[in-house]
Structure 1
Amino acid sequence: MSETASTIAEMVTRNGRSRPDYPAIIASDLAMSWSALADDAERIAALLATRGMQGKAIALLGGNGLWTYRAQFGVLRAGATLVPLSPMLRADALATMLADCGAALLLASTAHLELAIEAGRRAGIEVIGEGPDFEVAIARECATAPWPDAGSRFGIIYSSGTTGKPKGIVHSHAARMAMAQATAKDLRFPDNGRALILTPPHSNGTLICLLPAVLVGGALVLAERFDPRQIITLIGRQRVTHAFMVPTMLQQIVDVLPAGSNELDSIQTLVSAGAPLAPPLKARLVAMFGDRFAELWGLTEGVASLIRGSEMVVRPDSVGRPLSGTALRIAGDEPTGEIIGRSPYLMTGYQGRADEGWADEAGERWLRTGDIGEIDEAGYLRLRGRMKDMIISGGLNIYPQDIEAELCRHPAVRDAAVVGVPDPHWGETPIGFVETSQAVEMEVLLQWANERLARHQKLRRILAVDRFPRNALGKPLKDELKASHVDR
C-alpha cells in the first residue's frame, strides 16, 4: 500500500487504522467499525485471492444490506473488478451481463440467492452466497492479497437500458478516487459526515455520497427499502448529514414531512439526481432546505454539474456549473447542441466497445453525453433534453423537457413525460403523459398547457397514467410509455 492512498480500498484500510472505533456502516441496529470493516475486507480479499480472482470480474447481486457492502469492499481490496447487478432483472438478462463482462464469480445475498443460482447456471459460473459457509471460509483466511493498482479496473456499472441494450461502463480505481475527491469537496463532506445509502448498489448514483464518506472516514447509513416516514425517522435518529434521492423519493418525503419537524435538521447537503426536478417540487425543496439542497446532473460515464438552492432562485432552469474537475462544452458552433465533457473521473470506456461514445474536438477526446443543452456566460448549464428524445415537427426542434416542465407547473400534475408521434403533415408532433395528484380533465389540462406553449410545441393530446414505468433511479421509461399507450 502506498504512503498516499490512491484507491478506495486503501482508504478503507487507512480508516481502519486512523479511526478504528468510528462506525463505517450502520445497518438497522447493527454497526460495523472501520477497523472491523478493514479486517473483514482483508479476509474476503484473501479468500478471493486464493481462488485467483485478482483482475477478474466478480459480479454481486444484493440489496442495501450489511453483507452486500462487506462483499463490495472485499472485492475491491482483492483487486478484482466489481460488477454490481440489479436483482430486479430476470435470470436470462443477468446471464447476458455476466457473459458480457466475463464474470468469473457471482456473489449473492440470501434474499437473491435463488435468482443468482439460476443466472449463474445459465452463464456457467460459480455462485457464492451469504451465510455461515461464507463466514467460515473468510474466518480461515490469513493471507494478504496484493493491492490493486490505481490504473486497474475498479468496476463496471451497467446502464439502465432506457436507451436500448444496457452497456457496461468501466471505471478505474483512479477515476473513482477522483470522483470521491470532487464530491467530498462540492458536497461539503465533513470528517464525521454520515451518508444515507438509499438507492441500490448497482446504481452509480449511490456512489454520490458513498465515495466521499469513505474518503473522509465517515459512516454509511444503510436503508434497505424506501418508506418516506421511516426514512425521515432514520435521518433524524442517525443524524445523517448527506443524502442522495431521486425526485420521486423527494416528492414523497416533502408530502409526509410534518410541519415544523426538526428530523431533517442534521442534513447538510440533500442531493437530487437521476431525473429532472419538476419546478413546483424544486421550489418546495429550496424553500425547505435553502442552500442545503442541491441538484446534480451527470452521467455514469463521468461528467457532472451541480447547483445549490441559492443559485436555483436566480437560475431556476439551470442544473448548475461543472462539478470540480469536470469540463463541459457544447459541440459544434451553435449555442444549443450536444453537451460534451471530460474529467479525471471519466470512464475508461464501454465494456467491449472501447471506441463508442467519444467526440474528437480539436484533437482532444471528449465524452458525448447525448444530452442537449446550453451554457451561459457564467458557465451555468441548461438542459433541453436527450438527443434521442428531440422531436422534429415541421422542421423545428422541440425539446420535450421544456414541455414537461410547463405541464408540471399545473397544480394537478405530479410528473410528466412527452414523446413524439408520427404526423402526416408535420412529420412528428408531441403528446404528453401525466401522473396526477388530484382530479383534472385531460381536455382541460390540454387547453391549459397549449395556451402556455409556443405554437410549434403545442400538444396533440395528453394521456393520464396511474404510474409511469421507471428505471431504478425513478426516470420515466418513455419507450415503454409510448409502446403501451400509443403504439397499439
Structure 2
Amino acid sequence: MTDNINKETTNDSGAKDAQSTIETNTFPTMPTIASDRPWLNAYERYNIDATIDMPDDSTSLLEVFERNFSRYGQKPAYICMGASISFKQLDLYSRQIASYLQSLGLVKGDKVGAMMPNILQYPIVMLGIIRAGMVLVNVNPLYTSRELSHQLHDSGAKALFIVENFAKTYEEAEDKGQVKHVIVCKLGDMLGTVKGTVVNLVARHVKKMIPSYSLPESTSFKHALNAVSASEYKRPDMNLSDVALLQYTGGTTGVAKGAMLSHGNLIANMLQISALMDSAFEDDIEATDVLLTALPLYHVFSFMVCGMYSMYQGCAGLLIPNPRDLDGLIKEMGKYKPAFIPAVNTLFNGLVHKDSFADLDFSNLKASIGGGMSVLPSVAKEWHKITGLPIVEGYGLSETSPVVAFNPMTIAEFTGKIGIPASSTDVILIDDDENEVALGDRGEICVKGPQVMIGYQNRPEETAESFTVNGYLKTGDIGIMDEKGFIKIVDRKKDMILVSGFNVYPNEIEEAMSEHPGVVECGAIGIPNDDRGEEPKIFVVKKGNVTEQELLDFGKKQLTGYKRPRHVQFVDELPKSNVGKILRKELRKMEGLE
C-alpha cells in the first residue's frame, strides 16, 4: 500500500526543529534477515509479504493522513455515544487544532500532551498535534497528580489537552513542568448542541464525575477548535526521522520513560500490520467495517491498531469511553456489529462471562485480535465457542510502535503463542552473554526492525543499555522459538508486573508506598489474577500500628488504579543481596511463585 503514500508540496513553517539535538540515526532501518530464519517459510505458507516497502525519507505521517482524508471523505472516521465525525470533518477539525497550537507560538518539535479517554476529541487532538509538526505525549487520564507531575516534567510538554473530569488532578500536580497552555475538554463537546449539553449536565450533576477545580488560565476545547481558521494552518516540513510520539513506558526497568517513536517507526508498523491483514482480508475490508475501540487510545496497542491503522485502512473506529461498563459496551457492539475486535485478556474474559454477549450477532466479525498481555487458553476457548472465530494473538512493546510479532489471521485455532516476527523484522533469542541460542532453547527475545524506537527521551545511557552490541532491542521477555519460527513466551527476565496489558514497575510502587510514614521499606511483586493477569502485592516492614487497609487507601492516592497494591503482607525484614538490593525473586518464592 506504500505506493499511495506520495510526497506532496509542502509549505515550510520556518519553525526551529526542537529535535535537532537528537544525535542518532533516526531513520527506520531495515535489518538484514538471514535466509535460514525459520519464519520465512511461514510467510509463504500464509501469503504474508516478507518485507515492507518504506516510502521516501522525506515522507511523514502527514502524507498518510492527507491521503486518508481525500480517499475516505464522507465515510465515518470515528463514532462515539451515537455521534460521528467523517474523515473530511476530521481533516478540518485537526487542521483547526494545528492552527491553534501554531498560533500560541509553539514550534515544530514541541511536546503537547493529550490526557483523555476514548472520546471524539482524542483523534482530533492527536492529529492536530502531529499535523502542527509537534510531538504527541499520550497521558493516562487516570494518573494521580504524582504520576502526572513526573510525566509533565520529563516530557517537557508545553501544552496539555485534558478532559475536565481529570482537571483536578492537573491542578494538584506539584510539578507542571513547562506547561503554559491548558485546554480543557468536556465529554459532550463534539456530540452536538443538545446531546452534548445533556451529557455534560449528567456528568457534572447526576453522575458527579467532575470534581470541582480551578484553572483560571485554561481555555476550553471549543474555543481552541474555533479560535483560528484552518486556512491559517502552516504545513510543516516533516520526514521519517522526526519524532511523532512520546509513549511512556517503564522500559526494561525503572520509572516511566518516554519512548521516542518517529514518523518512520509508526508508518513502518502500519505497513507491517497491513501486510498481515492483507494476507487474509485484502479484498474483504469494506467501507462499512467498524473497528471496536474499547482499549484506551493512550495505550500503545490501541493507539496503533485502533487509531493509526484504523484510519490508514479507512475503518470507522467505535470509541468506547468506559469499557468497564460491559453492559454499555455490549449494547454498542449490538448496535454497530464491529468487524474487528482488538482487546486484552481482561476484556475478552469480561465479555464471555456476560450472558448478553453470547446473544450478539457476530456475522460481521472478521477478526478478534489479542495483545497487551497473554490471553488465557480458557478465555480463548470460550471466545471461539461464542463468536465462532479464534483470538489471534500478537506481541509488542511501547518501544516497537508496538507490534513485533503476530499469528497469521487465518489460523483455525488459538495457538497460545505470540506468532512469527512482523514483516521486515528480525528476532533473535539470546543468552546472558548475548549469544544466540539454538532453536527450541530459552532465550531473551531481541528485536531489530524499522518500528524500533529512536530511544528514550532524556536517557541516552538507558537507551544504550536497552540494545545489544549489534543493535537489537532487548525486550526482557524470555521465549522459545520453534522450527516454524513461532515464538512462545515462557518467562520474564525483568521484574515488570503486567496488569491488564499495562506495564507496572515494582520500584515505582515501592517508591510511592515508602512515602507513608508507617512504612520502613517495602518490596513489590506481581501475583496471579484470573481477571487481570497479575496484580501488585507489597511486602512491608512497618513502623508503628499501620494497618493493611491504611496502606491500600494510601496506594489509591499515590498510584493509578492498575498500579496500586491490592495485597499487603507485613514482614520483619525483606530479603536482600549483599549490597542491599531487595531480592524480588525471594519474595516470589515466599509467595510460592518460584
Q: Which of 293, 296, 304 matches 2:404? A: 304
- Following superposition, the deviation at residue 164 of structure 1 comes to 3.1
- Give the match's secondary structure for 1:79: coil
Counterpart check, 1:179 vs 2:269: yes
Cα shift readout 1:366-407 (whole Å, capped 9, x = no counterpart): 0000000111110010111210359xxxxxxxxx99xxxxxx
For 1:234 and 1:345, the matched residues in 2 are separated by 33
Counterpart check, 1:22 vs 2:120: no
Task: Indicate if the aligned counterparts of 2:157 and 2:179 stay in contact, CA closer than 8 A.
Answer: yes
Query: Aligned letter for 1:103?
Result: A
- Give the match's secondary structure for 1:232: helix
For 1:125 and 1:225, the matched residues in 2 are separated by 28
Cα shift readout 1:114-148 (whole Å, capped 9, x = no counterpart): 32344486325221223332233144762333243
What corresponds to 1:241 in structure 2? 339
- Give the match's secondary structure for 2:490: strand
Counterpart check, 1:201 vs 2:256: no
For 1:175 and 1:475, the matched residues in 2 are separated by 30
- Following superposition, the deviation at residue 228 of structure 1 comes to 2.3
- Following superposition, the deviation at residue 70 of structure 1 comes to 0.9
For 1:221 and 1:241, the matched residues in 2 are separated by 11
- Following superposition, the deviation at residue 295 of structure 1 comes to 0.9
Q: Which of 92, 95, 99 matches 2:153? A: 99
- Give the match's secondary structure for 1:106: strand
For 1:251 and 1:17, the matched residues in 2 are separated by 39
Distance change in 2, residues 1:173/1:253 (3 Å): same
Matches within 5 A, 1:74-113: 74-113=128-167
- Give the match's secondary structure for 1:328: strand
TM-score (norm 1): 0.76
Distance change in 2, residues 1:233/1:266 (3 Å): farther
- Give the match's secondary structure for 1:123: coil
Distance change in 2, residues 1:358/1:111 (3 Å): same
Which structure has more strand as a fraction of its residues? 1
What corresponds to 1:414 in structure 2? none
For 2:569 and 2:252, the matched residues in 1 are separated by 17
Structure 1 residue runs of 5 or longer lacking an equivalent are 391-399, 402-418, 420-430, 438-468
Query: Aligned letter for 1:304?
Result: V
What corresponds to 2:322 in structure 1? 225
For 1:276 and 1:58, the matched residues in 2 are separated by 32
For 1:113 and 1:432, the matched residues in 2 are separated by 31
- Following superposition, the deviation at residue 77 of structure 1 comes to 0.5
- Give the match's secondary structure for 1:201: coil
For 1:48 and 1:385, the matched residues in 2 are separated by 45
Distance change in 2, residues 1:259/1:231 (3 Å): closer
Counterpart check, 1:377 vs 2:473: no
Q: Which of 88, 92, 117 matches 1:39? A: 92
For 1:182 and 1:33, the matched residues in 2 are separated by 26
For 2:429 and 2:388, the matched residues in 1 are separated by 30
Cα shift readout 1:266-302 (whole Å, capped 9, x = no counterpart): 2211111111222211222233445552111211111
- Give the match's secondary structure for 1:388: coil
Query: Aligned letter for 1:199?
Result: L
What corresponds to 2:46 in structure 1? none
Task: Indicate if the aligned counterparts of 2:114 and 2:137 stay in contact, CA closer than 8 A.
Answer: yes
For 1:165 and 1:274, the matched residues in 2 are separated by 19
Task: Indicate if the aligned counterparts of 1:48 and 1:54 stay in contact, CA closer than 8 A.
Answer: no
Task: Indicate if the aligned counterparts of 1:76 and 1:154 stay in contact, CA closer than 8 A.
Answer: yes
What corresponds to 1:318 in structure 2? 417
Task: Indicate if the aligned counterparts of 2:76 and 2:86 stay in contact, CA closer than 8 A.
Answer: yes
Task: Indicate if the aligned counterparts of 2:97 and 2:225 stay in contact, CA closer than 8 A.
Answer: no
Task: Indicate if the aligned counterparts of 2:330 and 2:356 stay in contact, CA closer than 8 A.
Answer: no
Task: Indicate if the aligned counterparts of 2:392 and 2:411 stay in contact, CA closer than 8 A.
Answer: no
Identity among equivalent pairs (%): 23
For 1:175 and 1:432, the matched residues in 2 are separated by 31
Query: Aligned letter for 2:60?
Result: T
What corresponds to 1:397 in structure 2? none
Matches within 5 A, 1:316-395: 316-331=415-430, 332-334=435-437, 335-354=441-460, 355-360=463-468, 364-389=470-495
Task: Indicate if the aligned counterparts of 1:101 and 1:168 stay in contact, CA closer than 8 A.
Answer: yes
* Pairs aligned (count): 413
What corresponds to 1:144 in structure 2? 234
Distance change in 2, residues 1:353/1:260 (3 Å): closer
Q: Which of 2, 16, 25 matches 2:7? A: 2
Task: Indicate if the aligned counterparts of 1:60 and 1:107 stay in contact, CA closer than 8 A.
Answer: yes
Distance change in 2, residues 1:333/1:23 (3 Å): closer
- Give the match's secondary structure for 2:363: coil
Higher relative contact order (CA 8 A, sep 6+): 2
Task: Indicate if the aligned counterparts of 1:106 and 1:116 stay in contact, CA closer than 8 A.
Answer: no
Query: Aligned letter for 1:325?
Result: S
Cα shift readout 1:163-212 (whole Å, capped 9, x = no counterpart): 53111111001110111111123245625342221122321011223221
For 1:259 and 1:143, the matched residues in 2 are separated by 45
Counterpart check, 1:277 vs 2:375: yes
Q: Which of 254, 257, 262 matches 1:167? A: 257
- Give the match's secondary structure for 1:244: strand
Cα shift readout 1:331-350 (whole Å, capped 9, x = no counterpart): 12442111111121111111
For 2:101 and 2:350, the matched residues in 1 are separated by 41
For 2:227 and 2:76, the matched residues in 1 are separated by 25
Q: Which of 56, 59, 64 matches 1:11? A: 64
Query: Aligned letter for 1:213?
Result: S
- Give the match's secondary structure for 2:353: helix
What corresponds to 1:128 in structure 2? 183
What corresponds to 1:212 in structure 2? 309
Task: Indicate if the aligned counterparts of 1:209 and 1:243 stay in contact, CA closer than 8 A.
Answer: no
What corresponds to 1:57 in structure 2? 111
For 2:490 and 2:454, the matched residues in 1 are separated by 27
TM-score (norm 2): 0.63
For 2:231 and 2:145, the matched residues in 1 are separated by 32
Query: Aligned letter for 1:90?
Result: T
Structure 2 residue runs of 5 or longer lacking an equivalent are 1-5, 9-54, 186-219, 499-505, 507-524, 532-554, 573-594
Aligned structure 1 segments of 4 or more residues deviating by more than 4 angstroms: 160-163, 257-260, 289-292, 308-313, 431-437, 474-477
For 1:380 and 1:166, the matched residues in 2 are separated by 30
For 2:174 and 2:96, the matched residues in 1 are separated by 24
